[in-house]
Amino acid sequence: MKLSTYNVNGIRARLPRLLQWLEREKPDIVCLQELKCADDALPVADVEAAGYPGVWHGQKGFNGVAILARGEAPALRQVGLPGDSDDTHSRYIEAEVDGLIVGSLYLPNGNPVGTEKFDFKLSWFERLIGRAAQLLQEERAVVLAGDWNVVPEDRDVFSVQATAHDAVTQPEAREAWRRLVHEGWTDALRALHPDEPKLYTFWDYTAGCWQRDLGFRLDHLLCSPEAADRLQGASVDKWARGEEKASDHAPAWVALA
DNA sequence: ATGGTTGAAGATCAA
């Protein structure tokens, strides 16, 4: 079973690329982020026609997450994270597919540091950690996949110096990430590629970053112990970033037994 | 030269 996560950066603008990627890679389960599209404007019929029914949590303008499954509709478990009645962002959706619990998440970017946006990032992260703890208590196979907007370690970004003031490298965000991982989650990409320096999943559109391979590792798949026991592979579909009209993120995936 | 690009919205914001 192959589970992929893909920040599409606008599903309507990206639909041809998304359908091309689904056809080529044939993932069994797909977590999408940054739909940037209201629920009533989502290209649900096109995605279903490609063989992927899904559960969707759209939002006009920005955010938006979904979970797709090949051939069978995911069973929706939860939309949004509890704990903040003022949070109107569509950044979390959770479903069950073929016995696997799947969360698709888009953690707030948090730039610029020192603003309420960064505070929101950290508070949202705490709410996610709370949900993750509940999931671990179920002692089932769970994968939390998405755009975490966190660079876990210095080696996961092209330049520490150039990104020193970016919200994705801040110590507070990394501390939250480590605290979550240490609860018992496996960072699948890093676990299966412990010595690979460039596990990048995002390359900025500007300044020729893609052409020069100046990337970030921002998209992660965290596996519960029951899912980690089934880990057979994990990688990045880097080719997708090089296509015409590509998202600035590449899909990342895990293969589970 | 404080640069560069993209998407969605709408005359900017978020990334």
For residue A152, say whether its CB is under 7 Å from any atom of strand B: no
| H or E segment to which residue A45 belongs | helix A44-49
Q: Which residue is nearest to nucleotide B14 (CA to C1')?
A: A62
User: Is the CB of residue A48 less than 8 Å from the CB of residue A42?
Assistant: no
Q: Which two tokens stand for residue A244?
A: 């015409």
Q: Give the nearest nucleotide to A204, CA to C1'.
A: B5
Q: Give the nearest nucleotide to A63, CA to C1'.
A: B14
The residue type at A219: D
Number of Cβ within 10 Å of residue A131's Cβ equals 19
**A121-158, pLDDT tens digit by residue?**
999 999 999 999 999 999 999 999 999 999 999 999 99
Q: Give the nearest nucleotide to A11, CA to C1'.
A: B7
What pLDDT shows up at residue A88? 95
A216 CA, B13 C1': Å apart? 23
Euclidean distance between CA atoms A144 and A82, whole angstroms? 16
Burial grade of A71 (CB within 10 A; 0-12, 13-18, 19 or more)? exposed
pLDDT tens track of chain A, all 257 residues? 999 999 999 999 999 999 999 999 999 999 999 999 999 999 999 999 999 999 999 999 999 999 999 999 999 999 999 999 999 999 999 999 999 999 999 999 999 999 999 999 999 999 999 999 999 999 999 999 999 999 999 999 999 999 999 999 999 999 999 999 999 999 999 999 999 999 999 999 999 999 999 999 999 999 999 999 999 999 999 999 999 999 999 999 999 99
For residue A91, say whether its CB is under 7 Å from any atom of strand B: no
What pLDDT shows up at residue A130? 98
Q: β-pairing, A75-79 with A186-187? A: unpaired
Number of Cβ within 10 Å of residue A54's Cβ equals 22
The region, left, alpha or beta by phi > 0 then psi within -120 to 50, assigned to residue A54 is beta
| H or E segment to which residue A65 belongs | strand A65-69
Contacts (Cβ under 8 Å, ≥6 apart) of A13? A245
pTM greater than the 0.85 cutoff: yes
Euclidean distance between CA atoms A100 and A58, whole angstroms? 23
Contacts (Cβ under 8 Å, ≥6 apart) of A27? A2, A3, A4, A70, A251, A253
Q: Give the nearest nucleotide to A117, CA to C1'.
A: B14
**What does the DSSP 8-state code read for residue A13?**
H
